Amino acid sequence: MDKLVAIVGPTAVGKTKIASELALRLGAQIISCDSMQIYRGMDIGTAKATPAEQQKVIHHMIDIVEPDENYSVADYQKQAQQIIADLNKKNCLPLLVGGTGLYYQALVDNYTFYPMESRQEIRDKWQEIINKKGLDYAYNYLQTVDPHYAAKISNQDQKRIIRGIEVYEITGKPFSYLQKKSDQFYDLCVFGFYLERNELYQRINQRVDEMLAQGLVEEVISLRAKGYGPELNSMQALGYKQVLFYLDGFLTKEEMVNEIKRETRHFAKRQITWFKKDQRIQWLNVSKYNDLAQLVEKIANVIEGRLPAV
């Protein structure tokens, strides 16, 4: 059975920095588990590992598609599983890092995604409903017909919200019901990072300020100049959507900043709720470790004891 270590948790908790140091300590390679870091040119708003961090440690599943390309969770699963298999053959530990619950579960539980037909008239109907009543209306409807799937995705993920509703209206069954979970697929060791709510929210607010200082608005301007607009799933990502509203005059700068912070806090809360359901996760409050090296060594010792043959 192939070995896999995973680090999960809410946004802004410090996963990227800790994982980079842990990978150096273990000679591991990192596989991103983030549904927005797959897109090229979307760097600041998705908090990708810096070029310097990517030079120190090999990262996979970052910058693999353009923002206007269709890319499914099944695509991610297939590519990531191949990388995990290849690394195990080389006796190199794969380290899965990120906070996209749907990608994580599809990978570690080896979900089988059955091909589903599409009906454009259903998609068009719900697009019209969203245009009139808002995306929240569609997400709330999805929660009533398929709460399990709704809990896995962002309430801003228009593409997957419509797809979940479409599958339900075609089959009469929830999308989540039609996804088959396999028996244990990996020799898995998972760590979840968390902070107390006030500290996490403070970090989120600080991160948003830093992203804006680093040029998030300019990044969105550059993407829009290439033809990437709000109709794309990629541009519905946290931060990007609000910046587009700001650039089009629907939000003031202050409103944009406040909305990004608020939506990011809500997103983090949903991430925590989702990952808390997974009993395999070993949770660590990162604020209790003032020394990063101490935390990295603690995790490394657990991994080496749990997966000694890597």
Statement to judge: residues 174 and 247 lie in one domain: no
The predicted structure's pLDDT at residue 307: 65
Q: Supply the CATH number for residue 246's domain.
A: 3.40.50.300
162: domain CATH number? 1.10.20.140
| pLDDT score, position 118 | 75
94 and 216 inside one domain: yes
Shared domain check, 79 and 190:
yes
Identify the domain boundary among 180, 200, 219.
Answer: 180
Q: Both 187 and 281 in a single domain?
A: yes
| 65, 185: one domain | yes
**Three-state DSSP class for residue 235:** helix
d(CA 270, CA 99): 10
Residue after which a domain boundary falls, among 162, 180, 198: 180
pLDDT of residue 309: 42
Tokens of 82: 């191949």
> What count of residues does the chain have?
310
Query: Would you state the pLDDT for residue 182?
Result: 61
What is the DSSP secondary-structure string of 110-166? T-EE------HHHHHHHHHHHHHH-HHHHHHHHHHH-HHHHHHS-TT-HHHHHHHHH
Confidence (pTM): 0.82
pLDDT one digit per residue (tens) for the chain, 310 residues: 999 999 999 999 999 999 999 999 999 999 999 999 999 999 999 999 999 999 999 999 999 999 999 998 989 999 999 999 999 999 999 999 999 999 999 999 988 766 666 788 898 999 999 999 999 999 999 999 999 889 878 888 898 899 899 989 988 888 877 666 666 789 999 999 999 999 999 999 999 999 999 999 999 999 999 999 999 999 999 999 999 999 999 999 999 999 999 999 999 999 999 999 999 999 999 999 988 999 999 999 999 987 654 3
Q: Are residues 51 and 145 located together in one domain of the fold? A: no
Q: What share of the chain is helix, strand, coil (3-state, %, to 5)?
A: 55, 10, 35
The answer to whether residues 175 and 118 touch, using CB atoms and an 8 Å cutoff, is no
Same domain, 237 and 298: yes
Same domain? 136 vs 72: no
User: In 3D, which of 285, 11, 278, 42 has the Cα closest to residue 151?
Assistant: 278
In order of 32, 58, 95, 191, 278, the CA distances from 27 in angstroms are: 16, 10, 10, 18, 27
Domain with 35, as residue range(s), is 3-111+181-306
User: pLDDT, tens digit, for every residue of 219-269?
Assistant: 999 999 999 999 999 999 999 999 999 999 999 999 999 999 999 999 999
Residue-wise over 124-139: b if at least 16 C-beta within 10 A, else e? Answer: eebeebbeeeebeebb
Q: Quick one: 157 and 201 in the same domain?
A: no
Number of compact structural domains in the chain: 2
Same domain, 287 and 299: yes
For tokens 């398929």, name the residue.
Answer: 146
Task: Look at residues 149, 180, 211 and tell me which one is the last residue of a structural domain.
Answer: 180
96 and 243 within one domain:
yes
- Indicate whether 91 and 133 sit together in one domain: no
Which residues, 6 or more positions from 256, have their beta carbon under 8 angstroms from its beta carbon? 242, 243, 245, 246
- What three-state secondary structure class fits 91? coil
